[in-house]
Structure formats: structure tokens, C-alpha cells
Amino acid sequence: MKRILLLAALAAAGAARAQEGEDVQEKRLGFVERNPMLTMSGPFTEAFDAELLDQLSSGFATTVVLRAYVYKRGSDTALWWSAATWRVAYDLWAETYLIQIRDYNGERNYVEKKKAEALRLATTMNELPVAPLAVLTPGVEYFVGVEIEINPVSPELLAQVRRWLVRPSLGGASFFGGFVSIFLNPKVAEADRTLRFRSQVFYRVKKK
């Protein structure tokens, strides 16, 4: 049985935003415990502008790379990170969109006739696993920082994500030790489009 996490209201906003990145938009996302993982749900349709929407029907593949960083509130070092990729290609002969999704749970493939439905699948986190429940202490406040890149050109980024998708256990501290806060030190964009946002603060309910 799934248990919806209790979402905490964001307090002491001034101090928190100064540390967690004032220029990063906050989005309310859905969190659910799916043992052994915390999962996250929500759309990110705003990652696609008009030009990228047109490209979906060009016959060339569009790749979406998402990285989710779990932070303990008040810390600028990620506790855990996870990843997912979406790939959309339009089959000009069959006039259908082919969508491939890869994350911690494996690979799923879809075929859609309508661009709107292909876009929805390619811009939706549907109970995306973001961290093992074992690393999240009940009663402690956390938030998730999300970085999305459309058609990233960095081979290093794609290699890192692909390695994690093959061996998700490497999402722990030993693997992201070289990463710094995406909020305090945002890198120069290396993609057609980059989107960053953070979730609301949340915490796991303590068991009685």
C-alpha cells in the first residue's frame, strides 16, 4: 500500500532561498513511497519551447535527460541523485511518435499518433524513483533539485547517466562526490534548452 508523504510548508523562506538558490523556481511535486524508493511525479512541459515542439515532428530524435538531486534542507551537498532519459522520434512513414523512457525501473516504449500525447509522455515524471527510503530520515526536511537538458551535447553527461541507468546503486555518495550544488554553481548550458527547478520541502512521517 502506498503512503503519501506529508508535505511541509516552506518556512523561513528568506534564509532558505539564499542557500538553496533564489533564481531557481519552486514547483509543487507529488511524492509517494514505493518501497524501497521515494518516487516523484509532476510535469515539466515548460522545458519545450515552440522550436523544440516543431522538432518533434522532424524525423530526428529528441533526447531529454533529467537528473534529480535530493538535498537535506540547509545543506548545499546532495544526499543522493538519480536520473532518467526520454527519447522521442517521429516515424515519417508510419506517422507515429516513438517514445522511449529509461529510469531506475528499466525501459518502457510507447507509440502515439498525436504530438500532444507524445509531448505529455516525454515531459512527465510518473512516480520517478529519486532516492532509497533508507537514506531519508523520518521527520527531517528535504527537497529535490531537478535539472533537465533537451538534446545535451556533452558526451560525459550522457555517459554518466547511462552508467547510472545500468547500475542504479551507483547513485550514492561515492558516485556524485564530484558534483557540486547545481543551484550555487550552475554550469553553462550545453544543450538546446536547460530547465532547473526545485520541489517544495517535504519530510517522511515518523512511524508510531
User: What whole-number percentage of the chain has pLDDT above 90?
Assistant: 61
Report the half-sphere exposure of 14 (CA within 13 A, side-chain side): 0
Q: Taking residues 32-61, what's their average pLDDT? A: 95
Is the pLDDT confidence value at 109 over 90?
Answer: yes
d(CA 98, CA 108): 11
Neighbour count for residue 186 (Cβ, 10 Å):
15
CB neighbours of 198 closer than 8 A, spacing ≥ 6? 20, 21, 24, 25, 26, 27, 143, 144, 145, 146, 183
Tell me what the pLDDT averaged over the chain comes to: 81
Which pLDDT score, from 0 to 100, does residue 159 have?
Answer: 75
Question: Does residue 201 have a pLDDT over 80?
Answer: yes
pTM for this prediction: 0.80
What is the C-alpha to C-alpha distance for residues 8 and 14, in angstroms, rounded to an integer?
A: 16
Q: Which of 118-127, 138-147, 164-173 has the lowest average pLDDT?
A: 164-173
Cell matching residue 13: 523562506
